[in-house]
A and B are shown apart, each in its own frame.
Chain A
Amino acid sequence: MQDFVDKKIVNQTILQRIASGDKTAVQECLSTYGGLVWSLSRRMSPNTDDAEDAVQEIFVDIWKNAGRFDEAQASETTFVSMIARRRLIDRLRKTNRRPTTDSIEDMLNEPANRFDEKLQTIVEAKQAAKALLELRPEQRQVLQLSIYQGLSHQEIADALKMPIGTVKTHARRGILQVREILGMNNVKEAS
């Protein structure tokens, strides 16, 4: 019986274990996704204090929503990232604050292959980077500025001296293409 239970636990994902009340999975969740959540929080928060609070809120969100994770629809990494991003966007919108970012010039001058340098640990990140490299350079640039830098479409239009309609089109088409390449066309119930 114990053997059966152990096997069952082994076959469960971290989030499934958390959903079933397995406290030991929390430490594993922190070890596996702590860095990812912290990295996102630091980038999308106006200061470190805010990032610290955000991380704690995000993990509570993860525990609360662990039962909604469906591995047939998205990977755990994607699920955790989505929860984190939503919480961070929500915090930014509520306080009308902007994350601290590099200058637009720095971002625009970065080499296009910057993606390749950072993605060695998670396969999904590699796949995403690969998908990004399939985009047109201007689509990739717009997505970089909006997703990584948090710039509004208008700010991107100003920075790139591009009509706002074109910026929006690049963003839309870029996301659609990544969604297509990564086979995410049918992800429902994110959390």
Chain B
Amino acid sequence: MNEINDEKLIDLLSQRAIYGLNSAEEHDLILNYPEWKDDFSFDAAVSAIDLANLDLNEKLPKYLQTNILNASEEWFAPDLQPTFSIKPKTNWLSFLGWATAAACAILAFSIWTNRVEAPKDIVKVPTESLNIFQLRQRLLDSDKNIIQIKWAKGNVKDLPEVSGDIVWSDEKQSGYMKFRGLPINDSSKECYQLWIFDETQDEKTPIDGGIFDVKGNDEIVVPITAKLKVKNPKLFAITVEKPGGVVVSKREKIATLAKTTA
């Protein structure tokens, strides 16, 4: 296992450690190199390399520490942990607590005894879903100078009217776009791209605000990922571009736009 000469395998393991694998690559690894799928020596090496460049004096902000500690209260709630209370437990709730504890213990034992088995891929561990609507609201609540503008019609005639708005905070350099009615795009052929026109940039070269796809008909919220610092934005435009977006838009298809009143 230590000796490794297959270039394709090394490529896959390096790729996994640096960029992650797509499903085809993952399939390739599992199918063709099953004995290597649980090897994480490349991940360990890349993590070590990463460590070498980190600012190790950086500290986790207090408010985040508090949030995580609060979350840990739930995680370590007594009824989820094996307990050894000498008091008899008599009701169903406590029985459930014991059952959960027993299940945890069995699971822990199973994991322990199957250590050579592959972990069920940590990236696939279910996690709390990101509530982007709440994040948007938090941003709205946090900055009294925040910009909030409704979407207006772009230059594509046959496109239905889009409702929703864009919120942007210069102070936090962060913002969100909310849409309802923006058509689902075929991501193999096109994507949506946000452009931010502000006072720092020439109108010909607005700031790229990131690309996104619309995959459903429900209301969606998309975070803005401005590539440059934005100052006093005047106009936000969503264009339809080729997959992956473009550096400069021809502005042939403007799906929707939002203009400040100032």
In contact, B52 and A128 (Cβ under 8 angstroms)? yes
Contact among B48, B123, B135 for A128, CB-based, below 8 A: B48
Given A21-B81, A93-B20, A175-B46, the answer on whether A61 and B122 have CB atoms closer than 8 Å is: yes
In contact, B56 and A118 (Cβ under 8 angstroms)? yes
Contact among B20, B40, B73, B76 for A21, CB-based, below 8 A: B76
Hey, which chain B residues are within 8 Å of A39, CB to CB?
54-56, 58
Hey, which chain A residues are within 8 Å of B112, CB to CB?
67
B116 at the interface (CB under 8 A from A): yes
List residues of A (14-31) whose CB comes within 8 Å of B's CBs: 19, 21, 23, 26-27, 30
A106 at the interface (CB under 8 A from B): no
B103 at the interface (CB under 8 A from A): no
Contact among B56, B127, B223 for A61, CB-based, below 8 A: B127
Hey, which chain B residues are within 8 Å of A171, CB to CB?
14, 18
Which residue on B lies nearest to A98, using beta carbons?
B225
Chain B's nearest CB lies how many Å from the CB of A13?
A: 15
Interchain CA distance A55-B58 in the complex, whole Å: 14
Most buried by A among B44, B61, B65: B44
In contact, B59 and A118 (Cβ under 8 angstroms)? no
Stretch at the interface among B2-10, B146-154, B195-203: B2-10
In contact, B51 and A128 (Cβ under 8 angstroms)? yes
* Secondary structure of the A contact surface, majority rule: helix
Contact among B7, B44, B81 for A78, CB-based, below 8 A: B44
Most buried by B among A43, A59, A146, A175: A175
Hey, which chain B residues are within 8 Å of A74, CB to CB?
44
Contact among A144, A148, A178 for B45, CB-based, below 8 A: A178
Hey, which chain A residues are within 8 Å of B52, CB to CB?
115, 118-119, 125, 128-129, 132
Chain B's nearest CB lies how many Å from the CB of A73?
A: 8
B68 at the interface (CB under 8 A from A): yes
Which residue on A lies nearest to B50, using beta carbons?
A147
In contact, B123 and A127 (Cβ under 8 angstroms)? no
Hey, which chain B residues are within 8 Å of A104, CB to CB?
none
Hey, which chain A residues are within 8 Å of B227, CB to CB?
100
B90 at the interface (CB under 8 A from A): no
In contact, A55 and B68 (Cβ under 8 angstroms)? yes
In contact, B69 and A30 (Cβ under 8 angstroms)? yes
B72 at the interface (CB under 8 A from A): yes
B47 at the interface (CB under 8 A from A): yes
Which residues of A are at the interface with B, using a C-beta cutoff of 8 A? Answer: 19, 21, 23, 26-27, 30, 34-40, 42-43, 46-50, 52-53, 55-57, 59-61, 63-65, 67-68, 70, 74, 77-78, 81-83, 85-87, 89-90, 92-93, 96-98, 100, 114-115, 118-122, 124-125, 127-129, 131-132, 143-144, 146-148, 152, 168, 171-172, 175-176, 178-179, 182, 184-191
Which residues of B are at the interface with A, using a C-beta cutoff of 8 A? Answer: 1-2, 4, 7, 10-11, 14, 17-20, 22, 38-61, 64-65, 67-69, 71-73, 75-76, 81-82, 108, 111-112, 115-119, 122-123, 125, 127-128, 130, 135, 139, 172-174, 210-211, 223, 225, 227
In the assembled complex, 13 residue pairs joining A and B whose CB atoms fall closer than 8 Å, in A order, are A38-B59, A39-B55, A47-B225, A49-B223, A59-B72, A60-B128, A67-B108, A78-B48, A82-B43, A93-B19, A121-B57, A147-B49, A168-B11
Nearest first, the 4 A-B pairs at minimum CB distance are: A34-B60, A190-B40, A81-B47, A179-B45
